Amino acid sequence: MQQQAEARKGKPAAAPEQGEAAALIAKVLADGNVHAAEMQHHALETAAAFRAGSERKALGDYIELLGGFDPLVQTLDCVGRALGVDFNATAVGDTTLARFVEDLNALLSEAMKAQERKDWVLLADLIEYEIAPHLATWQQVFAALGMRVPSA
């Protein structure tokens, strides 16, 4: 047994078969979809906390919300590369994926400016009326990418 384990050490792990890869991509997209839905709910709670005057709690929630975008973007990037998606040519709804990411960056930049000015009302509005709906669109993006996953 020890000889078999030592023999495996020198060999690279086998690449997943096409069916396994497709199943993995589908699972990653499903997880991303759930994460986007959870973030949308969290965004609405964060906006409510700002409106209630609970700045300390709201700012903590806001920081968590911002941190949640990194896994979404990484999922989009990795799945896009795995599926060979051209972000400039692939549309979801009436916008390309490239524009979708640009819109996210613009929203987050505007939110950061509101935070720097300590304009909690504007920040709450941006979170509730811009960022939360943007998170709903992430679910559409993941569904559209899921349709590109080859069947096993």
pLDDT digits (tens, 9 = 90+) for 93-138: 888 989 999 999 999 999 999 999 999 999 999 999 999 999 999 9
Distance CA 67, CA 69 (A): 5
pLDDT digits (tens, 9 = 90+) for 15-35: 557 678 888 888 999 999 999
Distance CA 82, CA 28 (A): 11
Model confidence at 4: pLDDT above 90? no
In 3D space, the residue among 41, 24, 20 whose CA is nearest the CA of residue 138 turns out to be: 41
SS3 of residue 24 by DSSP: helix
CB of 39 closer than 8 Å to CB of 137: no
pLDDT, mean of residues 80-101? 88
Amino acid letter at 83? L
> According to the model, what pLDDT value does residue 16 have?
54
> According to the model, what pLDDT value does residue 126 have?
97
pLDDT digits (tens, 9 = 90+) for 20-79: 888 888 899 999 999 999 999 999 999 999 999 989 999 999 999 999 999 999 999 989
Render the burial of 31-69: b for 16+ CB within 10 Å, e for the rest: ebbebbeebbebbeebbebbeeeeeeebbebbeebeebb
Distance CA 52, CA 115 (A): 16
SS3 of residue 92 by DSSP: strand
Model confidence at 14: pLDDT above 80? no
Task: Scan for tokens 């495996």, then name that residue.
Answer: 8
Task: Name the CA radius of gyration of the chain, rounded.
Answer: 20
Distance CA 64, CA 61 (A): 5
CB of 38 closer than 8 Å to CB of 15: no
pLDDT band at 92 (very low <50, low <70, confident <90, very high): confident
CB of 132 closer than 8 Å to CB of 44: yes
Give the pTM: 0.80
